[in-house]
Structures are given as C-alpha cells and as structure tokens.
Structure 1
Amino acid sequence: MGLDDIKRRIADAEVAAGRAPGSVTLIAVSKVQPPERVETVLLNGQRVFGENYVQEAQGKWPGWRDRFDGVELHMIGPLQSNKAKQAVQLFDAIHTLDRMSLARKLAAQIRDQGRDPLLFIQVNTGDEPQKAGILADELPGFLASCRDLGLSPQGLMCIPPEDQDPVPHFRLLRDLAAQNDLPLLSMGMSADFEAAIAEGATHIRVGSAIFGQRDYG
C-alpha cells in the first residue's frame, strides 16, 4: 500500500467505470498522522488533504502551506459551530455541513471573511441515531434553507454504516445529488473507494491505505 498504489487503483477504477481520467479527487486523510509521514506524502506530490479536527489542522498546516505550493485542505470531521470562524479561515472545503445552526455560522463567516470554501452536506444515509447528517427526506428543505442564507452547497457526503454493504448508500447519495442538482459526491474510504468510484464519487477519503495505521497513543 501507499500513495502510488492508491493512485493506480483510482485510475483503474475510473477506467472500469467509464469515468474520465482524473475525474476523482483523492483526499489523503492526515488526521493524527506523524509529521514525517505527511511530509513524505507531500514530497511525493499529493496536495489534497483531509483533517477531522480544526485545532490539529491549525497546529500543523500553516507551516506546510508555506513550504508546499498548491495545498488544498478539506474538513471531513464533525464541525462544532463555535469553530466555524477558524474552519472558514483554514479549509478550502467543508464536507460536514449537517445542521442549520452550523449553516448560519458558516454563512456569517463566509460573508465576513470573503472566503468561499466548497461545501458538502453530510447525509445520514443509514438513518443512524448516533451519526451526524441530514436524513435523506430532509435534504430538499435543508438545502433550500442553506441557499436562503446565501450558501451554495455543491455536493453531498456520506459515511455508510460499518456493518452494511456500502453500495446502496453510495447509490442513494448519487440519486439525492442528481435530484437536487448537486455535482459533487464525497464518498468512499480506504476499504471501499473503488465501489464508490463505480457509483459516481468525485471525492474519496483515504487515510490508512496511504499513511499506514494511525497511532492514537
């Protein structure tokens, strides 16, 4: 495993699905990874990274952005409303817009800062009570409310239940995006990104398959 292997598998999956080469964006999930691993991936040319925690990202990415041109940073973890200011300052994309209180905070910060991060609405495709995300039948109303605030979400994101086949969830997300005229789909991780690409993913989130297992110690 490693970056080159993942890129090769992405390219093969694009061909198998009849997708255009390069139509899938690889987000290298660098949360809780040792700095030397992240630097190695940066030196190998990867420029799109995903982080779960605002404070962790604040502590490490400004320095790397000074050293490496073209870094694009994606917020892929739950976002507290009180971190909206820092998130808009730091991230180029936010994948976890999942409630109106956060939408209002993001709208205010986007207006005040003059920044325009790419926004994905997180959908709870498995209707799991412990998991964040808008329920599928709530999406049209939520999207309309976001647009009333001046936000322009461009895509949907999901994390399928761990104990289920992810493909029906990928298909549901794809269908919801098509019904609501949203062009981007953030779905698929290390274990299932090829299936996600087959179902139309535009952004996949891969961590351990690139960096190795995380050390939370």
Structure 2
Amino acid sequence: MLYDAARIVGARAGRILYRPRIEGLEQIPDTGPVILAANHLSFSDSVVIPLAVPRRIRFLAKAEYFTGSGATGRLSRAAFTALGAVPVERGSGGGALEALETGLRWLKDGGVFSIYPEGTRSPDGRLYRGRTGVAHLALTSGAPVVPVGLTGTERIQPIGTRMPRIAPITVRFGAPLDFSTGYGHLKTGRARRVVTDEIMAAVQRLTGQEQAGVYNERAGGE
C-alpha cells in the first residue's frame, strides 16, 4: 500500500517536473519474475526506475541510507523503504550474498528485482564492467533480464551535490534476455562472466556510453 501510494504520487510529480522520456516499457512482462539490469549514473537512478515501472520493484541500496540520524536520516529511511530498497553493506561479502538471496526470494515469488551490475555510480559517465551478481540471479532463478539504459540522470544530481536539479532524462528498456538455457556446458564462474558481459553489452546499446573496460573501484558512492 505504501509503495503504491509513493509510486503514484512520485511518478506524477516526476513527470510534471522532469517530463522523462520512457521507451520500451512494454518490454517488461506484466507478470512473473524479471530482473532489471541498469547502468548507474546518479543517486536519482534509484528513484527514477521505480517511478517509471508500473510493477512493484525491489532493488539494492547501500545500508547508509537506512541508518542516518535526525530528520534527514528518517526521511531517507522512509523514502527508500517505500520505494522497495534492500539495504546492503558496502565491502561486506556476506552482506552482498544476503542481499542477492533476498533478490532470489523476490524473484521466486514472481517479483521484479532491479540491480546495477556496475556496483556503484560511474564517476565519469563511462559504462564500467559488470559484476557477476546479476548473472547469479539470472542463472539461478531462470528469470529473464531486461536491460535498462538511463541517460541524463547524472545531471539531476551530480556526484557531490545534495539538491536535485531539473534536467531532461531518458529511460530505455531493452528486449528481455533469456539465460535459462544454453549455458550448462560452461563452468559456473565462466557462465556468470559470459552472461554478465552479454547483459552489459545490451545496456551499452541502449545508452551509447563509452565502455571503461575495467571495474568501477571508486571508494564510497552508492
């Protein structure tokens, strides 16, 4: 109930303020499990995607958004909880695995789970190499992966700024990718790497970003 109310109100406000261009929304199945794999340019990505998609979404967000103090901390906690965020501890292998298990449970129940394979925001607008958690979700659950390309969100809230700005944004959803068969001949680690690279290539085709070719190791971030 809280999620639906937040999404409806937020989506209306967002469309009035930003007039986002949303393409390919029909690529997201109306029912059944699906993974949304998006590039990551801005803090605002975690607001834009849930407001653009009519189905309820769960997604990973750093634990700090849930542990702040004072009015700002309470507001952050309430907002991310309402949007369907799952807290994950940065730099904690156990925390990341637990978060992925949460994603698998959500997918098993037929839900939509959103993930940023890059792991953290791009510091320079390039598309960084994807980490294989997204492939683990896809290969374990059998859920299709819908690539998501975000452009312009880095101008809403550039790294280091607190207040959002008004800027044109585009959200593109690509055709679902099916990894439920055809990868059994590969060892687990190799299969995850191949699947992740295919997903990131599909994201790049939606955004046109320059590929960095390396992991995003920037400390902190989201």
Q: TM-score, normalised by structure 1?
A: 0.32
Which of the pair has the greater relative contact order for Cα pairs under 8 Å at 6+ separation? 2
